[in-house]
Amino acid sequence: MANRTPLIAGNWKLNKTTAEAVALATEIKSGADAAGSDVDVLVSPVFTVLAAVAKALAGSKVFLAGQNMHSELSGAYTGEIAPTMLTDVGCSHVILGHSERRQYFGETDEGVAKKTKVALDNGLLPISCVGETLEEREGGKTMDVVGRQVDAILKAVSADEATKVVIAYEPVWAIGTGKVATPEQAQEVHAFVRKRVGDVHGPAVADAVRILYGGSVKPDNVKGLMALPDVDGALVGGASLKADSFLKLVHFDKQ
C-alpha cells in the first residue's frame, strides 16, 4: 500500500442525540489514542452534534467530518450547510456524494464534483463517494458507472488537489445489507479507480490517493479487506455506532 496511511472513517448517518454522540466520541477518542496504531481515524455525526463532538475530541487524533455540504458559502438555501460552517465547528473533512445522497436526494456526478472542489477551496478534505447499484452490477456496468463518477470528480480538481481527495468505493448493494463485495470484487474496482486517477493526473497522484471500501465492513471482514493492495481504509456505517466494534476496525492491524 505504498506510503498511504490507512483511514477508518465512521459515518454515523441519522443517529445519536448530543449526549449519545458525545459519549460515543469520548469512547472512540480513548480507544483510538491508545495502542498507537498508525491509522487515521474519523467520525462523521449529524450536523446538530458536530460542535459538541468536536469539543469531546479536542486534543485527540480523531478527525471530524460533516456528512454533506452545499456548494455555496451563503444565501437562500434553507436547510443547507456551507463548508465554512463545517470548518467553523471543527470539521477537517466532509463526506460527499454518499450513495444515500445520490439515491434519496438526487445528487449528481456533476454536483458531487463541484462540491469536491468547493470543499478543497475552503479547507475541507473531501471523502467523495462512488459506487454501483445491484442492477448495474448484475448488468455488467460497474466499471462504466464508477468510471463516470470518478472522472467527474477528477476533472474538477488539479493534480495537486486530487492527492487530497479520498475516494470511497461503495457498492450500493452492500450498504446495510450484510453483503460484502468479495476481496476479488473490491480489489478489482479499487485497482480500476486507481488506474483511472493515474490516467487523468499521473501515476504519482494515483499512488498517493487513498481509496476506501464502504459496504457492511465489520470486525470479522476488515482484516481481509485491508490486506488488499489498493484498499486504503474503510467508510463504515453500522459498525461505527458502537465504540467496541469501531475500535476493532481501527485496530485491525492488531488482530
The predicted-structure confidence for 93-132, as pLDDT tens digits, reads as follows 999 999 999 999 999 999 999 999 999 999 999 999 999 9
* CB-CB contact of 172 with 103 (8 Å): yes
CB-based contact 69:59 (threshold 8 Å): no
What's the pLDDT at 253?
A: 84
Express each pLDDT in 160-197 by its tens digit.
999 999 999 999 888 777 777 888 999 999 999 999 99
DSSP H helical ranges for 16-141: 18-33, 50-57, 83-88, 99-105, 109-121, 134-138
pLDDT tens per residue, range 189-224 = 999 999 999 999 999 999 999 999 998 899 999 999
pLDDT in the model for residue 238: 94
Q: Which domains does the chain have, with CATH numbers?
A: 7-254 (3.20.20.70)
Q: What is the C-alpha separation between 93 and 203, in angstroms, rounded?
A: 25
137 pLDDT above the threshold of 80: yes
Q: What is the pTM of this model?
A: 0.96
Averaged pLDDT score across all residues of the chain: 95
Q: Three cell numbers at 254?
A: 492488531
> Which DSSP symbol is given to 5?
P
Query: What is the band of 34 on the pLDDT scale with cuts at 50, 70, 90?
Result: confident
Which tens digit of pLDDT belongs to each residue from 75-96?
A: 999 999 999 999 999 999 999 9
88 contacts 107 by C-beta, under 8 angstroms: no
The residues assigned a catalytic role are 98, 170
Average pLDDT over residues 21-45: 91
pLDDT at 65: 98
CA angle in degrees (0–180, nearest 5) for 207-156-51: 85
Query: What is the model's pLDDT at position 14?
Result: 98
Q: How far apart are CA 245 and CA 104, in angstroms?
A: 28
Q: How far apart are CA 205 and CA 3, in angstroms?
A: 12
SS3 218: coil
